[in-house]
Amino acid sequence: MYKQINAKLGSDAARIEFWLAMGGILLTLIISVFDVISYDQAINLQNKAQGLLPLTSQLPPLLFSNFITVVSYLLLCFYVGPAFESGKRSGSAGILFVFIFIAATYFIGIASIYFTTLLAIKILFIVFNTDKRNDEASLNREAALLTATWILVTISMLFVAAPGYFQLYILIDVPVAITLYLFALYRLLPRAELKGKGWWYYFWTIFLLALLSCAIVVLVCSCFDDGSRRVPSPHGVSILIVTVSNASDDKAFYILTMLILLTQLFITAPLAKKVYKERKLKKDDQINTLKTELGKSDASLTFLKSQINPHFLFNALNTLFGTALQENAERTGEGIQKLGDMMRFMLYENTQDKIALSRDIDYLKNYILLQQLRTSSSPDILIESQIEDYAGDLMITPMLLIPFVENAFKHGISLVNPSHIKVSLQISGNTLYFDVHNSINTKKENDPEEGQTGIGMENVKQRLALLYPGRHELITRQSATEFFIHLTMQLDING
């Protein structure tokens, strides 16, 4: 287990930090346990002398508090940290749950404020050690930064003489504002733009959400009467109870609700919209720059496609010529028919921005069939094709899938050594799952395809980034003898 933990942590600095933190938690727990046991024994002796009931031990809450601290730290080390390093947005829900979990345990007093401070610092450390240029992880990064900052600010208020109203505002209004800001920026505004909704739709949605948050705050604050405004034991200090106990009177809660409403309407809503607009303009500029630098305008895309077609036609004609020499014209005729279908596709559909997914699948099948004709005489070549038939109305940019298969046949097939290729394609809803798995064979010096690069992986990645931003995931793995790609795409529906 020790070796597995060190392997997952990676760097030496991460290992040192982890074991120091775990050792600190364990040492604090041991000292706290002895203090609680000594305190319980002293109080119980006093109660026994006075004829009172024994004191219920504070040991279970202490153990539970440290358990929560360990769980929170492990989540940050082995879930949040790796998720930030991967830079993907797919795990945002789980990461946000971890932040909410840490904030909630601190808010209600389960976790110690001292260890919560260290957890907040750990969150900031994760944020500042990730690539800030990755837009896919911007939600996770902002949520982490805002959560950690809020925790540190509220803890610092315990050690300064801040007014009770101000403390309540920072403690309750600010996390409500953070939640609404993130929701507006990453969910509400993109959906409003997608559906063509205007400013009033956005304003009234924020207004209703602000009213709902006010009602929730009133309900929570009403649970605290004078008898509940006390500070519990040091290992389980509730920041909420401490702050409420410092408030001057019950009017603070009603002023708090008005501040929530005003904050959301006049600070959070305009700020989220301004940030969203600026980021959208920046993203548009980046796309235009990418088009200019990488030649990804319509003319450049057509040029990239033309790089594929002559190369493939050259290979296909060589295949048909070789087949004609080996046998009668039956297989050659089949190959010519498939080639004719593919030429029609390239002449009439390949130049369109979007085509029916079914047509792109037909082209893919024809290409694989032609290659199977070429290699059918070699028993050591295994070609598997599991391409699902599709007759729906999904659309796709042409010539995005075929380069992966073309590269698989180019680098994965050998007429001398055993080799294999497996291609699979499935559709679920509007999601396409595409896998290509092939062996890797070194080309001979006199191989006719030597020096023919086809279309490179980097070009395909650039086209996917331009045409399907945030709607695809491309995973590639390579060993000395095998190559694997997995592509997931969210496709558009015709009309």
| Cβ–Cβ under 8 Å, residues 61 and 235 | yes
CA angle 479, 420, 375 (to 5 degrees): 140
Q: Which residue, chain included where needed, has tokens 């190959």? A: 335
| Cβ–Cβ under 8 Å, residues 241 and 109 | yes
Least confident of 151-160, 290-299, 446-455: 446-455
Distance of alpha carbon 303 from alpha carbon 312, whole angstroms: 15
Rg (CA), the chain: 31
Q: Where are the domains of the chain?
A: 2-160, 295-493
Report the range out of 17-26, 51-60, 127-136 with the highest average pLDDT.
17-26
First vs last C-alpha separation in the chain: 55
The share of the chain scoring above pLDDT 90, in percent, equals: 13
Q: What is the structure's pLDDT at 453?
A: 42
CATH hierarchy code of domain 295-493: 3.30.565.10
Question: What is the amino acid identity at position 225?
Answer: D
Q: What is the structure's pLDDT at 256?
A: 73
CA angle 73, 78, 81 (to 5 degrees): 90
| Cβ–Cβ under 8 Å, residues 473 and 88 | yes
Report the range out of 165-179, 207-221, 261-275, 302-316 with the highest average pLDDT.
261-275
The share of the chain scoring above pLDDT 70, in percent, equals: 68
Helix 199-221 to helix 174-183 angle (10° resolution) is: 150
Instruction: Name every residue whose Cβ is closer than 8 Å to that of residue 289 and which is 6 or more positions away in sequence.
Output: none
CA angle 89, 90, 94 (to 5 degrees): 100
Of 407, 408, 402, 401, nearest to 432 (Cα)?
Answer: 401
Average pLDDT over residues 306-329: 62
**Torsion from C-alpha of 133, 139, 142, 147, nearest 10 degrees:** -150
147, exposed or middle or buried, with CB in 10 Å at 0-12, 13-18, 19+? buried
pLDDT in tens, 452-468: 444 567 778 888 888 88
Report the range out of 12-21, 42-51, 333-342, 347-356 with the highest average pLDDT.
12-21
Residues counted in the chain: 495
Tokens read off for 88: 């993907």
**Torsion from C-alpha of 194, 200, 203, 204, nearest 10 degrees:** -100
Question: What is the amino acid identity at position 71?
Answer: V
| Cβ–Cβ under 8 Å, residues 384 and 422 | yes
Least confident of 111-120, 145-154, 162-171: 162-171
The string of DSSP letters for 118-141 reads HHHHHHHHHHHTS-TT-GGGHHHH
pLDDT in tens, 352-363: 778 889 988 988
The string of DSSP letters for 368-419 reads HHHHHHHHTT-TTEEEEEEEPP--S-EEE-TTSSHHHHHHHHHHH--SSS-E
Least confident of 11-25, 110-124, 221-235, 343-357: 221-235
pLDDT in tens, 372-420: 877 877 888 899 999 988 888 899 988 889 889 988 888 888 877 888 9
Mean pLDDT of the chain: 76
Which helix (H) or strand (E) covers residue 101, if one does? Answer: helix 92-107
Q: What is the structure's pLDDT at 225?
A: 45
Residue 308: pLDDT above 80?
Answer: no
Residue 370: pLDDT above 50?
Answer: yes
Q: What is the structure's pLDDT at 491?
A: 92
Residue 41: pLDDT above 70?
Answer: no
Distance of alpha carbon 221 from alpha carbon 253, whole angstroms: 7
304, exposed or middle or buried, with CB in 10 Å at 0-12, 13-18, 19+? buried
Of 233, 205, 263, 292, nearest to 43 (Cα)?
Answer: 233
